[in-house]
Amino acid sequence: MQPKQIESLNAGYRDTLGIVTDDGSRKVIYPRKPKGRFYNMRTVFSLALLAFMFGMPIVKISGHPFMLFNIIDRKFILFGMVFGPHDYFILALGFIAFTVSIILFTAVFGRIFCGWACPQTVFLEMVFRRIEFWIEGDYLRQKMLNIAPWTGKKIFKKLLKWSIFFSLSILIANTFLAWIVGTDELLKIITEPVSLHMGGFTAMLIFSGVFYFIFAWFREYACIYVCPYGRLQGVLMDKNTTVIAYDYIRGEPRGKINKSEERDLGDCIDCKECVAVCPTGIDIRNGTQLECVNCTACIDACDVVMDKINRPRGLVRFASENNIKDSTKFRLTGRVIGYSVVLALITFVLIALIAMRMPIDVTILRAPGMIYQEQPDNKISNLYSMKLTNKTFDEVFVNIKLENIDGEIKIIGNEIKLQPNDVNETKFLVIMDKSKLTAMNTPLEVGIYRGGTKFGIFMTTFLGPPQQK
Ligand code: SF4
Ligand code: SF4
């Protein structure tokens, strides 16, 4: 059966949203508790993600966070390496690589990130929804509880659920803050008087409120109405994109099963189990829809049905529109190859930049607007300014030496001492015998030493008087 015929079976589904009633109000979704192999895999994967989300801010190396995204102070720590304002080109490239990988991943595998790795789905489906199932029961019990009068039992269940939800929202908000300000600062916000941390305390309250609102009420609206990534699906996916798909070739014409008659219909018995488990309230048999977050609950539900009626699993499965239409398997398209090449190039440049990144950034410039200065004993000098950026957590003492020519370096001011993650600007004079100069511009190699160990040579020039030919 061709898609056109499918459309005629479900005429009108593209004109409505599964989460909106005919009068425009919200249609509350009560998805059935999912179970099956994909749900089990998602559970394991979600546990790993939750451990990462909650555990990473606690991990420290030599007393410093392993990961930190301090957008307020523009300080980022990735895998123990500090990135500051001076590293924005690396961060920008990292962001581009991340965006391209998302585009590539979406072009090939659709919205699988949403169902499996997005924090919104992980928290909602694997934490909050499970607590709801535990307190209020499966979908039918939840529905009945919501329309039941406010008895003591209902009040108890609702209060228990809301207080657990709010406590979890506070925990998530604190974790979120820990990723931004670090656990030490977070601990101060929690333990010290509120008046000392009004900003942090307000942020914690706002985040807690927002998370509670999203997970207790807003839920699938975030994916369907708000998420910009969800909006982009239409332009990122094509007919070769692997999505959660209903095999209409196999399934249609659908129809109830009748054990007394020989079946001349397709494999879909129109049981609507796939619809009952859908957290966004759609019928996957209508084709790929914007609301689908690729959570795979409908695959599990349909596989159970197929097992029961002795038909092969996979009536609903991971497949592209073309895979279903032509009964083919996944294949690489020109677009996928193109995206992969771009992504590989960006990643290569990113890794090279990180590998070549020096712990101390050095810029040496001859003082602008100045030529050479005459000094006693037939010597001349040039004035230089040097900017040093310490990208480490350590205090660093720096020495400088001339590497390619005899001469003296005189630092103006005190020794060069760099504070952790700090920028230092120093001026110094290079003094040389006139007799050593053979040209107006003499190339200089300045060696930079950290604790007696040379970690780099930086080029500049020494300006002298015009030479006699
Ligand atoms: S669960 Fe499978 S058989 Fe039942 S309605 Fe959905 S696609 Fe058809
Ligand atoms: S259609 Fe299937 S995969 Fe998509 S959101 Fe619904 S249950 Fe999840």
The CATH number of the structural domain formed by 360-463 is 2.60.40.10
Measured in Å, residue 312 CA sits from the centre of ligand 1 at 13
Q: Which of 268, 269, 244 is nearest to 257 (CA)?
A: 269
Type of residue numbered 19 = I
How far apart are the C-alpha atoms of 434 and 347, rounded to whole Å? Answer: 50
Q: What is the pLDDT of residue 468?
A: 62
pLDDT of residue 370: 82
Task: Quickly tell me which residue has 């895999």 as its tokens.
Answer: 41
Cβ partners under 8 Å of residue 118, min gap 6: 293
Q: Quote the pLDDT of residue 83.
A: 83
Distance in Å, CA 24 to ligand 1 centroid: 28
Residues in Cβ contact with 395 at an 8 Å cutoff, skipping those fewer than 6 apart: 417, 418, 419, 420
Nearest CA to ligand 2 atom 4: 292
Ligand 2 atom showing the smallest separation from residue 281 Cα: 6
Domain boundaries, the chain: 1-357, 360-463
User: Dihedral angle at the C-alpha atoms of 355, 361, 364, 368, nearest 10 degrees?
Assistant: 120
| Beta bridge pairs of residue 83 | 76
Angle at 292 between CA 315 and CA 335, to 5 degrees: 85
How many whole angstroms from 148 Cα to the centroid of ligand 2? 29
Q: Are the C-beta atoms of residues 320 and 108 closer than 8 Å to each other?
A: no
What one-character DSSP code corresponds to residue 422? -
Pocket perturbation via mutation, ligand 2, pick of 284, 296, 316 by most ligand atoms within 8 A of CB: 284
Q: In the structure, which protein residues have their CB atom closer than 6 angstroms to any atom of ligand 2?
A: 244, 277-280, 282, 284, 292-298
Task: Look at residue 117 in the predicted model and tell me its pLDDT.
Answer: 92
Q: Which pLDDT does position 78 carry in this prediction?
A: 86
Give the model's pLDDT for residue 4.
44
Å from CA of 78 to ligand 1 middle = 45
Alpha carbon separation from 20 to 17, 28, 395 (Å, rounded): 5, 8, 60
Q: Which of these, 19, 32, 10, lies nearest to 297 by C-alpha position? A: 32
Question: What is the best residue among 249, 250, 272, 300 to mutate for testing ligand 1's pocket, by most ligand atoms within 8 Å of CB?
Answer: 272
Q: What is the pTM of this model?
A: 0.81
- pLDDT by position in tens, the chain (length 469): 444 444 445 556 666 777 788 788 888 889 999 999 999 999 999 999 999 999 999 999 888 899 999 888 888 888 888 887 778 788 888 888 888 888 888 888 888 889 999 999 999 999 999 999 999 999 999 999 999 999 999 999 999 999 999 999 999 999 999 999 999 999 999 999 999 999 999 999 999 999 999 999 999 899 888 998 888 877 888 888 889 999 999 999 999 988 777 888 899 999 999 999 999 989 999 988 888 999 999 999 999 999 999 999 999 999 999 999 988 877 777 877 887 788 788 888 888 888 888 888 889 998 888 889 999 989 999 999 999 988 888 888 999 999 988 899 999 988 888 888 888 899 999 999 988 888 888 899 999 998 788 888 899 999 988 776 5
| Contact call for residues 231 and 241 (beta carbons, < 8 A) | no
Instruction: Give the pairing of strands 60-61 and 64-65.
Output: antiparallel
Nearest listed ligand to the Cα of residue 111: 2
Cβ atoms within 10 Å, residue 15:
6
Give nearest CA residue, ligand 1 atom 4.
271
